[in-house]
């Protein structure tokens, strides 16, 4: 029998027993941690970008540029005696118990596991739980929970199944090199939920999904051998990482506005917002993008770090457990999966059962988990020193362009890192000065000011500031030579134009 009142009837989360604080990197990789701390001073960001959407991201990032760990405080990490399947079973059993169901009541199981040695855990999970129903794997990076929820909702609503179990997990700590600062943001965890019929007028009202193909390549995955010679997949920051910042505002607005429209409600009617929060500032970016009160959402990033598709489930769980989310409240869930799918769903919250509360954090405070939009404060601190436009650079004498561009880059670095200009030279490499976040910030600044695309990899390796400036300058001049009605062609020596054209 079909019905429209279908949604989440129970929630559970399961996290590893090891809580790793920032001190781990100071003890295990002191050179890495200390080098990162030395890079960070009182960083600033410029708030006069021509792209207002990128400006929102940049302003919300700014408060974290002072922190070498970029807002990371704790993350849950698998212990030697723990396995992904063990934690998945724990969360699933908790979700079943909270829904007052037994394994025989489940008629469909959907699992999504990122970074598991088994690949897809659905059949193993079904066997471990004693399920006799169909069980399949589904993956859409950080949007896996929402895509799985949509799939289960539609099938239950159509009458194909009565009760569906969804289990999503991420075990990022095993997928990154601990000597890479990306490991500071990766955590492990599991979320589980049961989809079933609810009371009339409750459940999922709408779902809106869009492609995030623009962010393909934001993360790179490669096969490596570990210390024991066992092959493993390794994840690192990709060449297209800047696309996450450039598209964040547009994606959240597109998905959420479409979801509330389809649900027949307005954003100001939503009681609670649950965002996936892969960075410490992501909830603030979403809140500012939608123009909502930050008090209507939460940020669990300091507690769990980036646990991918588990984050929206964890946010819903903690919101319900703390009383921020109550029965019959309107809730909007938004997720953004890099190189996959972004989506939003609006639901009328039911009387969802909750699984066992996870262990409390060791160091995280309530203040750190508050969502505070920094845009207004940052705007007041904006500065115009060192601004250089594409037009100004091309109008300069050909012999002075390289010098102007190097000065622009050195000024940005000195200001952002709060270093005396005398400590920087054009023969230094960016790799000795920038981490991935600062490199992304500088990349966005250059692309906005000079209107030239800069590959992310140029900020790493042995490329010096002078070499980088020369490449950017050549790219600008080539573009100006091929542009119609170019005003800079006459100012460029013939032999230089010929060399660049070749």
Question: Looking at residue 390, what is its pLDDT?
Answer: 85
Question: Looking at residue 1, what is its pLDDT?
Answer: 39
CATH 1.10.1200 positions along the chain are 390-501
Say which residues have a Cβ less than 8 Å from residue 192's Cβ, sequence separation at least 6.
11, 12, 13, 14, 88, 91, 92, 94, 95, 165, 166, 167, 168, 313, 355
Distance, in Å, from the CA atom of 324 to the CA atom of 328, rounded to the nearest integer, reads 12
Number of neighbouring beta carbons within 10 Å of residue 79: 11
Structure tokens at 324: 């921020």
State the pTM of this model: 0.79
Distance, in Å, from the CA atom of 363 to the CA atom of 225, rounded to the nearest integer, reads 34
CATH 3.40.47.10 positions along the chain are 6-378
- Please report, for residues 48, 107, 157, 167, 368, the alpha-carbon distance to residue 1 in angstroms, rounded to integers and kept in the order given: 57, 15, 8, 25, 47
- Please report, for residues 4, 93, 194, 196, 442, the alpha-carbon distance to residue 100 in angstroms, rounded to integers and kept in the order given: 22, 10, 10, 12, 53
Domain 6-378 CATH superfamily? Thiolase/Chalcone synthase (3.40.47.10)
Q: In b/e form, how buried is each residue of 325-354, taking b as 16+ CB within 10 angstroms?
A: beeebbbbbbbbbbbbbbbbbbbbbbebbb
**Beta carbons of 74 and 364 less than 8 angstroms apart:** yes
∠ CA 421-423-428 to the nearest 5 degrees? 105
Question: Looking at residue 333, what is its pLDDT?
Answer: 98
Question: Looking at residue 483, what is its pLDDT?
Answer: 56
Intervals of the chain under pLDDT 50: 1-2, 41-49, 376, 378-385, 486-490, 492, 494-502
Number of neighbouring beta carbons within 10 Å of residue 74: 20
Distance, in Å, from the CA atom of 421 to the CA atom of 407, rounded to the nearest integer, reads 10
Distance, in Å, from the CA atom of 257 to the CA atom of 409, rounded to the nearest integer, reads 39
Question: Looking at residue 500, what is its pLDDT?
Answer: 35
Number of neighbouring beta carbons within 10 Å of residue 99: 24
For 132-171, write each residue's pLDDT tens digit.
999 999 999 999 999 999 999 999 999 999 999 999 999 9
SS3 call for 110: strand
**Beta carbons of 109 and 142 less than 8 angstroms apart:** no
Distance, in Å, from the CA atom of 498 to the CA atom of 502, rounded to the nearest integer, reads 6
Strand partners of residue 209? 343
Distance, in Å, from the CA atom of 479 to the CA atom of 458, rounded to the nearest integer, reads 19
Q: How many CA atoms lie within 13 A of 253 on its CB side?
A: 11
Question: Looking at residue 496, what is its pLDDT?
Answer: 41
Structure tokens at 172: 């990022």
For 60-98, write each residue's pLDDT tens digit.
988 888 788 989 999 999 999 999 999 999 999 999 999
SS3 call for 459: helix
- The one-character DSSP state at 488 is S
Kind of pairing between the strands at 74-77 and 108-114 = unpaired
Distance, in Å, from the CA atom of 23 to the CA atom of 277, rounded to the nearest integer, reads 23
Question: Looking at residue 118, what is its pLDDT?
Answer: 63
Question: Looking at residue 495, what is its pLDDT?
Answer: 44
Say which residues have a Cβ less than 8 Å from residue 422's Cβ, sequence separation at least 6.
none
- Residue 93 phi, psi (nearest 5): -65, -40
Question: Looking at residue 294, what is its pLDDT?
Answer: 93
- Please report, for residues 280, 297, 300, the alpha-carbon distance to residue 275 in angstroms, rounded to integers and kept in the order given: 12, 8, 10
Pick the CATH number of 390-501 from 1.10.3210, 1.10.1200, 2.40.30, 1.10.3470: 1.10.1200
- Please report, for residues 7, 279, 480, the alpha-carbon distance to residue 485 in angstroms, rounded to integers and kept in the order given: 59, 44, 9
State the SS3 of 301-314.
HHHHCECCCHHHHH
- Residue 347 phi, psi (nearest 5): -140, 150
């Amino acid at each position: 029998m079909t019905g429209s009142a279908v949604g989440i009837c129970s929630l559970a989360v399961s996290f590893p027993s090891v809580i790793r604080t920032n001190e781990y990197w100071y003890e295990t990789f002191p050179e890495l941690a200390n080098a990162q701390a030395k890079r960070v001073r009182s960083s600033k960001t410029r708030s006069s970008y021509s792209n207002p959407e990128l400006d929102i991201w940049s302003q919300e990032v700014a408060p974290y540029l002072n922190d070498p760990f970029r807002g990371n405080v704790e993350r849950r990490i698998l212990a030697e005696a723990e396995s992904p399947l063990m934690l998945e079973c724990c969360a699933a059993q908790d979700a079943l118990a909270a829904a007052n169901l037994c394994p025989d009541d489940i008629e469909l199981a959907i699992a999504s596991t990122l970074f598991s040695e088994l690949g897809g855990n659905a059949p193993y999970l079904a066997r471990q739980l004693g399920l006799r129903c169909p069980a399949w794997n589904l993956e859409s990076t950080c949007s896996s929970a929402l895509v799985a929820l949509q799939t289960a909702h539609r099938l239950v609503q159509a009458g194909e199944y009565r009760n569906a179990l969804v289990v999503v997990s991420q075990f990022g700590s095993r997928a990154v090199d601990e000597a890479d600062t990306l490991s500071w943001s990766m955590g492990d965890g599991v979320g589980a939920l049961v989809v079933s019929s609810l009371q009339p007028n409750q459940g999922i009202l709408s779902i809106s999904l869009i492609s995030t193909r623009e962010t393909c390549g934001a993360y790179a995955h490669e096969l490596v051998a570990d210390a024991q010679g066992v092959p493993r997949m390794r994840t690192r920051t990709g060449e297209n990482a800047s696309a996450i910042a450039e598209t964040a505002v547009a994606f959240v607005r597109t998905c959420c506005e479409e979801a509330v429209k389809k649900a027949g409600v307005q954003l100001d009617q939503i009681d609670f917002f649950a965002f996936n929060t892969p960075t410490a500032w992501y909830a603030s970016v979403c809140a500012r993008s939608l123009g909502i009160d930050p008090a209507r959402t939460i940020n669990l990033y300091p507690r769990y770090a980036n646990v991918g598709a588990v984050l929206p489930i964890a946010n819903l769980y903690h919101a319900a457990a703390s009383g921020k989310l109550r029965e019959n409240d309107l809730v909007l869930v938004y997720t953004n999966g890099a190189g996959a799918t972004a989506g939003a769903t609006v639901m009328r919250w039911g009387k969802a059962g909750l699984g066992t509360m996870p262990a409390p954090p060791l160091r995280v405070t309530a203040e750190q988990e508050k969502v505070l939009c920094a845009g207004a404060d940052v705007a007041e601190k904006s500065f115009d020193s060192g601004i250089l436009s594409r037009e100004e650079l091309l109008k300069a004498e050909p012999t002075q362009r390289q010098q102007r561009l190097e000065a622009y880059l050195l000024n940005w670095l000195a200001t952002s890192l709060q270093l005396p200009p005398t400590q920087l030279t054009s023969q230094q490499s960016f790799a000795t000065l920038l981490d991935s976040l600062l490199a992304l910030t500088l990349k966005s600044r250059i692309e906005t000011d000079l209107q030239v695309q800069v590959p992310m990899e140029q900020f790493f390796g042995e490329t010096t500031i002078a070499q980088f400036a020369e490449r950017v300058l050549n790219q600008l001049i080539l573009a100006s030579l091929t542009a119609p009605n170019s005003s800079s062609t006459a100012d460029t020596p013939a032999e230089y134009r010929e060399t660049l054209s070749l």
